[in-house]
Structure 1
Amino acid sequence: MRTLIWLIGIFAIAVGVAMVAGLNDGYVLLVMPPWRVQLSLNLLVVIVVVGSALGYALMRLISRTLQLPTRVAQWRERRRRERAGRALTDSIHALFEGRFAQSLKSASRAYEIGDEASVAALVAARAAHALHDEQRYREWLGHAAEQSAKQGARDDVALLMTEAELAVEGRRFDEAGARLASLREAGHRHIAMLRLEASVASALGRWEELVATVRQLRKHKALTEEQAAPMLRRAHVERMRELAGDGAALGAYWKQIPTNELQDRGLIERVLPLLARVGHGELARKQVERLLDERWDSDLARQYAWCAVGEGDIRACLQKAESWLPQQARDAGLLFSLGQLCINAQLWGKAQSYLESSIQHGATVEAYLALAHLLESLERRDEAQGHYRAAAELVAGGQKSRLALLPA
């Protein structure tokens, strides 16, 4: 339909031009002595139009001819870039597919012919690292550093991140830490870098740094609460173990732990003995009681006796523990804790009763030993020896069970 409309339009214009030309009787007289030329105006118009078109076509032909070497060079450059781009794409695909040798080969070709030589060098370095080829890995990192120096800061960041990540994979944590420190000095703090910092801090025992990094990752939703909890637990426990010889520092560290992190029962169970050994067990008392009131935990209840330090704390803890007893009368952990509290309060008879009940409902080595020590202090050594033997048999039985699980 569109073609038909164009044909009708062209024919209409042709008819219009023919009618106008038929009505035009004008002429043009050209004089150049001794010559004299007389033309119709219509013919002159045709000559001018055709001549202009031919002149334009000739000029275009000459221009294209003169531009031909440049255009050929541009075409060759475009082809070179296309080949380099395909080689780089192939190397990245091969790297993701796990074909590291092919990736290294394609990246080498891309490095030789492409403009993205720094990217190609980094891909080649990753492929060489995956092949455990240390020599070529270092060689390609050197090429990447050369290109980074030429092309600027963006490629420098990519180089440092690659070196840090591959150093972490190779368990060269000091090297990774140095690269990450360079990135920090340049003001970079993105999520991928924070993940690497967490790995380095954990491996090198930088526990306070690990806590700060995990909190940032959790804040940016790069870690869920379930993922962050064990990392924070380990960092807090290890840092508090380092401070175990300084009661004031240990207490100060405990007080600065946020409330939401103190909801981790595993953390409380591990650090409560540390606090108790330096006389700060009462710092965790309210948190332990709150957790047990919210949801009962026999293992945590077994640690409750650590919360009692002075005479007033002992009696308060004993009263609180006995308030749980009606609902948890058969809980071995609570009974053991009550026995320990009664020993501290010098209530020998109640202590013996609670420890015997704890053994009855769930025998443990520590319950046998606590009862044996109590009886020995009461000069009932024969009975104490029986409980010492029971504890030894329990330990031996546990070792036999573990040995039975080992493959033949």
Structure 2
Amino acid sequence: MDTRAHYIGLMSGTSMDGIDAVLVTFDTGTVTVQGHTYHPWPQDLKNTLRRLSLPGENEIDTLGVADIEVAIEFSRAVFQLLKQTGFQPEQIKAIGSHGQTIRHRPDAVHPFTLQVGDPNHLAEQTGITVVADFRRRDIAAEGQGAPLAPAFHAAFLHHPAEERVILNLGGIANITVLPGNRDKGIIGFDTGPANTLMDAWSMRCQQRPYDQDGAWAASGHIQLELLERLLNADYFKQPAPKSTGPELFNLDWLEQRCHKISSYKPEDIQATLCALSIETITRAIGQYAPRCSRLICCGGGTANTFLMEQLGQRLKDITVEDTTRHGIPPDQIEATAFAWLAYQTVEGCFGNLPSVTGASHPVILGGIYQA
């Protein structure tokens, strides 16, 4: 096994705000982030990706073009990162590219997941070997294909003296339960929406891609009757393992449960959506990690001051912090995880946790596209 190697991780989540790229060094069981850059999606491409996330017309042609355009933006993020860090392409062992998810159907008759960002083009343009298409092998092994980051959390954020929960606040929220005793097994799953509904509602009502610091939600009042209708959705009643995405939790889903959406003040709906995220997260922690003493948060949602404050108030007996205290800023964790998953694949090591995804056995994830 290569004890010291440099990898790049690329991640764009369900929020579709942009690409996080990290350059990581793995050295005898340690991980060091050498650099990070953020590359926003061009607005036209972002609009296309959002359309592709829902059923529509002419999807195959649109998909084919988007697959290449996403790879081009990924390569731009890679070169931006290399310039920033001073590394050369030949110094990078491989790129771990998550791709951009446009459809995730783990519960279909024939389960599937689909990410765009053609690794062939990415390898050709950067001159760096690419590891990609991580999720489909887990699905082929009867898993959900998600979440995959818990294996990384277990490798680098576990502590034998306490039960920890790692909370990723992306478009969708997911948790990883890390018992102090590894023999008890690791649990991880998507709890439901984190930012995706709030972001979509903010864009519709305020033409803003997100609610800065959660200030708009803080100005509203939670509508308890609406909150209860939202909490009654089937997904929240399903046992783990489970995974989801914006193909379920979108504004159509909200309107179906809102009846007369115009009868509510927009800021009250935002407050209720924030409460939905907090309630589903805290219920999941209470059910699956009742002995949790530390909640370690990552993802873009950690920048939502109001959400984080409300989460801390609901979990008064738990230390709530972000991953900065553990050496990696919260906006870099997911990209670092996919750099590590690429490392696992190149070294011929398993990347999934069957206790998390529900797969029938551990598998080596993804395909390798040689430079």
TM-score (norm 2): 0.21
Bigger share in strand: 2
Higher helix share: 1
Give the greater-gyration-radius structure (CA).
1
TM-score normalized with structure 1 length:
0.20
